Amino acid sequence: MRWSKYFLQTVREVPGDAEAISHVLLTRAGMMRRIAAGIYALTPMGLRSHRKTERIVREEMNRSGALELELPILQPRELWDESGRWARYSSDHILFHLRDRKEGEYCLAPTAEEAVTSLVRAGVTSYRQLPVTLYQIRTKFRDEIRPRFGLMRGREFLMYDGYSFDADAAGLDASYGAQDGAYRRIFERCGLDFTVVEADPGAIGGSDSQEFMVLAETGEDAVVRCAACGYGANVERAETGRRPAPWDGETPGALEDVETPGRGGIDEVVEFLGITASRMIKCLVYETESGPVVAILRGDLDVNEVALKNALGVQHLTLASEEKVESTTGSPVGYVGPHHLSGRNVRVLADGSVRGAVNAVTGAGRRDWHVRGLSIDRDAGVRDFLSFAMARSGDPCPRCGKPLSIARGIEVGHIFKLGTKYSTAMRCEFTDEKGETRPVVMGTYGIGVGRTMAAAVEQHHDDDGIVWPLALAPFEIEIVSLNPADEAARRSADGLYGALVKEGQDVFYDDRDERPGVKFKDADLLGFPIRVNVGGRALKDGKVELVTRSDRSIRAVPLAEAVEAVRALRHELAGPIEVPA
């Protein structure tokens, strides 16, 4: 494809609304354009990369044995009421709602568990028809409150979503494993450095789930990892081993009041008393749909609100107002102590970080006073401990005890074991070998296609532009004619372009009447893996320059050997990754 015949306009300015590097570079490279908040158009160049990502996903899903279908984007409320998600997703404000001329209610689906379950329940009646895994690659919609990061969190996006249907838990394990293997092959073929971590199922529901995270310094998510044993989890799901505590080995002392005038915050008390934050015990009051809750944990730790929500079994969790804190606990904010909660009409949960605490400091239940010498068992009577403190870098691994580290990542895929959550609610059942009726056992799987493409840019770029992995590059090879006005240079560039196209290579030809410096800037911005410079001093010596974008290495090869040299370089960059026939 010749640039002079192509629809492509690069820009030098950074988009004013761009926060993510991928948003900046894909816009500057002329690959995407904003239409509205969270809604983007892909140009022909952007669509090529998008389609390559989609093709890899489709090839590996077909290879796994999954069957492609197409489900409607416009879905009736009745289906979502069956699963119970209409009210839940509406309260989270992510559903696009529509009404037709007959006042029927519909949504633009962000996911398709209801639609695919209704399809399977109408067609599967016997265990002999199981297992089956169905998938689609389809446009989805989420009414994001704050769409951001370009293709990574838009309101309209292309997504792979797959759904497995099995007769039992062992079958689900096999289907889940097949998807896990397919995901790993997909991201390997995309040339991405990724990790797989335990994750929270969230609004989808179910039990086990894993996220596939592309590692990048600009990632929006925190990933907790153990280099020693391979444990990994997103920060919302991460657990830790027992942290060393300042009271380890101590015997309980007497409980005593200590005046702390005007010091209700952890940092203020720590400085005033000359202690560490880990010596303190804090009580945070939350409001839920089931009533108020007090969460007790060590003063140097933060609450993992996802873990706390799961422990409580609630959907909504917000910190209580000052007035609510005082009416719930009888104590002002900053001075709540666990020993004053007995007999209050409030649910109390303690994190494992305060198990066995003695000689601790906490609120005295009245303004300007704290207590020290608190024993969590003697004075507060806490007996049940959960795990809802946020993991930190350096905390012990829950599996091997070695230090954890935290990296940044971008979620590009998620797999879930749903079990019978949807099949029971929607009566998607089959008859087993004994003639008994049972709900099918389900799994659900998703990959953001545009998100994967954007994540590749987040991971592969430099100060000058995108550095595409070969598999996702809009074009693998770019020919740059340094001086199209020079007849010999133009004929050489035209001839090389024609030879590469004839051979079936994926090649883009910058034949514009522009200065070489402008072309080099654009080439770096667009980030094609291989660039062939034709013209200048090298051509006078009968050679062309092959430039590798990833390491900027340059090699001069005879013009007559250029096609073979490009082919060899492409093979080198492709590596040994197996591609299905």
pLDDT at residue 289 in the model: 94
Break the chain into its structural domains and give their ranges.
Answer: 3-238+406-458, 256-386, 475-574
Q: Look at strands 437-439 and 256-259 and give their pairing.
A: unpaired
Rounded to 5 degrees, what angle do the CA atoms 380, 385, 390 make? 110
The pLDDT mean for the chain works out to 94
What are 440's two structure tokens? 């099918």
Q: pLDDT of 259-299, one tens digit each?
A: 999 999 999 999 999 999 999 999 999 999 999 999 999 99
Report the CATH superfamily, name and number, of domain 475-574.
Answer: Anticodon-binding domain (3.40.50.800)
Q: Which helix (H) or strand (E) holds 545?
A: strand 543-548
CB-based contacts of 238, cutoff 8 Å, min separation 6: 198, 224, 304, 390, 391, 404
What are 196's two structure tokens? 């797989």
Q: What is the CA radius of gyration of the chain?
A: 29
pLDDT at residue 254 in the model: 96
pTM value > 0.75: yes
Residue 111 three-state SS: coil
pLDDT at residue 342 in the model: 87
What secondary structure does DSSP assign to 23-60, as a single string?
Answer: HHHHHHTTSEEEEETTEEEEPHHHHHHHHHHHHHHHHH
Number of other CB atoms surrounding residue 117 within 10 Å: 26
Residue 544 three-state SS: strand
pLDDT at residue 581 in the model: 62
Tell which residue, 121, 157, 111, 126, has the closest CA to residue 416.
111
Residue 337 three-state SS: coil
3-state secondary structure 223-235: EEECCCCCCEEEC
The DSSP call for residue 263 is: -
Tell which residue, 410, 497, 412, 407, has the closest CA to residue 446.
412
Residue linked to tokens 């009210």: 87
Q: Which residues of the chain have pLDDT under 70?
A: 92, 201-207, 578-579, 581
Q: Report percent pLDDT > 90 for the chain.
A: 88
Tell which residue, 17, 53, 13, has the closest CA to residue 157.
53
Q: Give yes or no on whether 256-386 and 475-574 have one common fold.
A: no
What secondary structure does DSSP assign to 437-491, as a single string?
Answer: EEE-EEEEEEEEHHHHHHHHHHHSEETTEE---GGG-S-SEEEEES-TTSHHHHH
Are 221 and 410 spatial neighbours (Cβ–Cβ below 8 Å)?
yes
Please report, as a single letter, which amino acid is at residue 114. Answer: E
Report the CATH superfamily, name and number, of domain 3-238+406-458.
Answer: Bira Bifunctional Protein; Domain 2 (3.30.930.10)
Q: How far apart are CA 329 and CA 326, in angstroms?
A: 5
pLDDT at residue 215 in the model: 92
Q: pLDDT of 515-537, one tens digit each?
A: 999 999 999 999 999 999 999 99
What are 543's two structure tokens? 């050679």
What are 142's two structure tokens? 């989420």
Topology of the domain covering 256-386? YbaK protein (3.90.960)
Dihedral through CA 145, CA 150, CA 154, CA 158, nearest 10? -170
pLDDT at residue 266 in the model: 96
